Structures are given as structure tokens and as C-alpha cells.
Amino acid sequence: MTKTEDVLLFGVLALVWGTAFTAIEVGLETLPPLLFAAARLDIAAVIFVGAVLLGRLRWRPRTKADLALILSNGILVIGAHFAFSFIGQSYVTSGVAAIVLSFTPIITPIIAIRVLSTERIYVTDVVGLCAGLAGVISIAIAGGSVDGQLLGIGLLLASAVVFALGSVLTERWSADLPTMALHAWAMGTGAVFLHVTAYAYSGATLRNVTWTPSAAAALTYLGVFATAGGFLLYFTLLERTGATNISLINYATPIVATVFGAALLGEGITMATVAGFALIVVGFALCNIRPLWRLTRATSNTADHDRLLERDEVRIQGNVYKTETDSQTSLQPGD
């Protein structure tokens, strides 16, 4: 694939994951949050299991690391993350939910510092965390009481934290299972976790809910496109473009969610929400300033490497130099 195709795939992923918040908002009108999340994972798990079987991939966990990854991904990264986010979004708009969850990449390095001994804390990490928290607070105080928007934002923040914690914990182990099989197990584990939680929380089961055409359509979209298709696309881009590039999806998704929420659901966009999102983006940039700088340099070098040389230029080990031929030849770095 070319870089243009990568950009297009990135745009498709942002569109799918952004509109997922719109679909969640539609489904929450009639479906209990935890059961809704569980059903979403049911569909995705079936698709992943089907892919494993069709590909004749090894599916049985053989090592303790496989089991640890299945449990950490299934319970924290997927199960608890969806539990908090679906309940949280029932109190706020789809755009606000997407924006608060964009706090995840900010809290992740802070948790990594506490959990992984290889990580170090920098001043920019602390300032970035403070900026991100200020953004969340800005959104929280924009409106809502303790039993309304504020509670929803708190639950969404908890969703971001458990997702970050689970992601960091997975760094401790190396899977022996194929990636597709690992995610099939994780989706299934998350689905079971959510079904049990939904029943314990409110007695909700798939047999005692009222299904409407809009709820069924929202669930199908979430299970097939946003979860199964979205994750497959995400890991394709992760392999092709790297973690720093793909992490920017966290800030493209809220824009899509906010636009579609306003256009299709009539959700309002306040200045406090915009300001809060801006602070979260600043926080992300500060927490990831080193990898972002390396990405910028790599992009610059790649662009310079791809361009055609002028008559008086020469490329040496990826660097472009200008030549001057008088009585002698000298090399100077090109602009």
C-alpha cells in the first residue's frame, strides 16, 4: 500500500470509530448499557472466531503469558473499558464521550511509569497530564449535576484508566498465540464478563429487552464494522505506520463523533467542550513529545529521500548535499 492509501485507511478508521459513538447513543435509547456492550462483543467475537477457523490458526493457549494476555485484554482493555464507557455515555452526549476517552493516551505513560520499571517520568509528562485533566474538568463543569453529566464524565474517565492499565499490563507478556486468535479469546472473555456484570447489575439478559429496528441496526454496525472491522483495520495500520502515527486516531475520532452527533442527533457543541478537547490534545502532545519529534524528523527525512535530486545535488546515506564545482568540489547540507 502507498502512503495515500494509509491516509485513506486512517480516515476510514476515524469515520467508523467516530460514528460508533453515534450508534451507541442510538442504542442506549432502548438497550441497557452493559447488555448493549456485551451484545456488541458477541458479534465481534463470532467474527474473530470465524476468521481463526477459516485461517486454520492455532487457537489453544499454551503458555501462562497467553492466559495472562487473554485475561488482561478481555477483562480490562475490553470488558471493564466498555462497561464504564457505555454507562458513562448514557449520561453525556456522544461527542463529549469521545472527547473524554481521548484522555487515554495521556494517562497511559503515567501508569506505565508506575507499573513498568523501564519507563521514566519527565516534566513534560506531568505538565501534559495536568493539561489533559484540565481539559476533562473544563468539559465536566460545562453543565450537569452530580447525577448527570459529571457522573458520566467520571465513568468515562474510569474507562480511560482501566483501558490504559490493561494496555500497560500487556507489555509484561509476549503472546505465543497468533494475534487473531488472541483477540478472538479477548473478545469472548470480554463478552462473558459483560453478560455476567449486566445480569448482576440489573438482571438484564438478551431475552428480556425490547428490540427496535434502530437498536438492532446500531448493534449490528457496532459489532461488525466498529469492533471487528475497526480493530482489524487498526492493527493493519499499526503494523504499517507505527504506534505514534496510529495514536493520532484518538484525536480524529472525537472530531468525527462531535460532527455526526451534532448533525444526526442534534447535540450541541459548547465552547467549554472545544476548549477542553484542545487542552487534552495539548496534554497528549506534551506526554508524547519525544516520539512525536522522532516521527516529525522521520517524516521529513522520508520526504527528502523521496524527492528527485537537482543537477547540483547528491544523496549520501539519506542526506542531500549541494555540490559546487569550481577549482574544487565541496559538499554542503541541502535545505
Residues 2-53 pLDDT 10s: 678 888 999 999 999 999 999 999 999 999 999 999 999 999 999 999 999 9
The answer to whether the CB of 255 falls within 8 A of the CB of 11 is: no
Q: For residue 125, what pLDDT is reported?
A: 76
Q: For residue 328, what pLDDT is reported?
A: 42
Give the mean model confidence (pLDDT) for residues 172-201.
93
* Model pLDDT for residues 118-169, shown as the tens digit of each residue: 657 778 878 888 888 888 888 877 655 455 788 999 999 999 999 999 988 9
**pLDDT band at residue 257 under the 50/70/90 scheme:** very high
| 57 lies in some domain | yes
Q: For residue 316, what pLDDT is reported?
A: 43
The answer to whether the CB of 157 falls within 8 A of the CB of 104 is: no
| 329 lies in some domain | no
Joined together, the cell numbers standing for residue 33 give 448499557
Domain that holds residue 65: 3-306
Q: For residue 118, what pLDDT is reported?
A: 63
Q: For residue 295, what pLDDT is reported?
A: 53
| 239 lies in some domain | yes
Q: How many domains does the chain have?
A: 1
What is the number of helices (H) and of strands (E) in the chain?
A: 15, 3
| 34 lies in some domain | yes
Q: Is the pLDDT of residue 205 over 60?
A: yes
**Separation between Cα atoms, residue 153 and residue 82, nearest integer Å:** 14
The answer to whether the CB of 160 falls within 8 A of the CB of 100 is: yes
Q: Is the pLDDT of residue 236 over 80?
A: yes
Q: At what angle do helices 94-101 and 3-27 cross, to 10 degrees?
A: 130
| 317 lies in some domain | no
Q: For residue 143, what pLDDT is reported?
A: 54
Which residue in 96, 198, 226 sits closest to 157, CA to CA?
A: 96
Q: For residue 93, what pLDDT is reported?
A: 92
Sign for the CA dihedral angle at 70, 31, 11, 53 comes to positive
> What is the share, in percent, of the chain residues with pLDDT greater than 90?
51
Q: For residue 191, what pLDDT is reported?
A: 97
| 323 lies in some domain | no
Checking DSSP bridges between strand 313-316 and strand 329-333, what pairing results, if any? unpaired
| 316 lies in some domain | no
* Model pLDDT for residues 96-120, shown as the tens digit of each residue: 999 999 888 888 888 887 777 665 7
| 213 lies in some domain | yes
